[in-house]
Amino acid sequence: MSRPFDLVVFDCDGVLVDSERLSTRLDAELLAQLGWPLTEAEIVERWVGRTETAMKAEIEDHLGRDVSDEWAAFNVRYLKAFAEQLQPVDGVAEAVDAIQAAGYETCVASSGDLPKIRRNLAKTGLLDRFGDRLFSADDVEHGKPAPDLFLHAAEVMGAPPARTAVVEDSRHGVAAARAAGMWAFAYGGGVTPPVALEGPRTTVFSDMRRLPALIAGAASPA
């Protein structure tokens, strides 16, 4: 049976693990403490899908001061919340199993650092499904929305960009997939409004259980 893609790349936060709601709530608390109160919707628009380094740099630029001490202290709250509350995205384990059973190569490419990716996947029981096929923003010079991370993952996995699908949940991540010349399957069941994910070479969906059929039914982009 002919498959439309050779490789399916999964983002981690918001796609595999339901972390964005936790993160956004805590980000709002941190920003209020720092003196730049933003709504959760504003935080989603600005930073979901981007690296922690990029977020911290933008905050420091806005405030005109270093926030490293507060950032480090608040990180303890993030780690505690994730250890106690983090869950896999509903239906994603079944979706990954079905995609792998259909013969697709899979990997993870996330804006988080590698220890965070491993920790969150292990906490939610998903790590064994991907083994060492994990790529982080630390592997490349430019994070999302630049295409570097997805292009790097595809190159290492031996898949042409045009034969690669990306599963993303953020506006910046979907933009990175498009810029890489890949097809984006944009999960609209998270914190980013589905309308913000729409665009060229993109399939928007809100039920992770539908993903295997959507991938199998996609027209070949090659």
Q: What is the pLDDT of residues 128-143, one digit of tens each?
A: 999 999 999 999 999 9
Residues 79, 96, single domain; the answer is: no
Q: What is the pLDDT of residue 222?
A: 39
| Structural domain count of the chain | 2
57: in domain? yes
What is the reported pLDDT for 44?
Answer: 83
Catalytic entry in 6, 13, 18, 169: 13
Question: Do residues 92 and 51 share a domain?
Answer: no
pLDDT score of 221: 44
- pLDDT digits over 69-88, tens only? 998 888 888 889 888 999 99
Is the residue at 2 inside a domain? no
Same domain as 143, residue 187? yes
**pTM recorded for the entire structure:** 0.87
Give me the domain span that covers residue 42.
20-85
Q: Is 11 a catalytic residue?
A: yes
Whether residues 98 and 206 share a domain: the answer is yes
**Does 1 fall in a domain?**
no
131 and 120 in a common domain: yes
Q: What is the mean pLDDT of the chain?
A: 93
With a cut of 50, say whether residue 196 has pLDDT above it: yes
Report which of 104, 97, 86 is spatially closest to residue 166, judged by C-alpha positions. 104
Residue finishing a domain among 38, 58, 85 = 85
Is 212 found in the same domain as 110? yes
Residue 163: inside a domain, yes or no? yes
pLDDT digits (tens, 9 = 90+) for 146-180: 999 999 999 999 999 999 999 999 999 999 999 99
Residues 132 and 173 in one domain: yes
**Quick check: is 18 catalytic?**
no
- Output the pLDDT for position 34: 92
Average pLDDT over residues 92-111: 97
Q: Are residues 12 and 39 in the same domain?
A: no
Q: What is the DSSP string of the chain?
A: ---S-SEEEEPSBTTTB--HHHHHHHHHHHHHHHT----HHHHHHHHTTS-HHHHHHHHHHHHTS--HHHHHHHHHHHHHHHHHH--BPTTHHHHHHHHHHTT-EEEEEESS-HHHHHHHHHHTT-GGGTTT-EEEGGGSSS-TTSSHHHHHHHHHHT--GGGEEEEE-SHHHHHHHHHTT-EEEEE-SSSS-GGGG--TTEEEES-GGGHHHHHHTSPP--
Q: Which one is catalytic: 6, 11, 18, 169?
A: 11
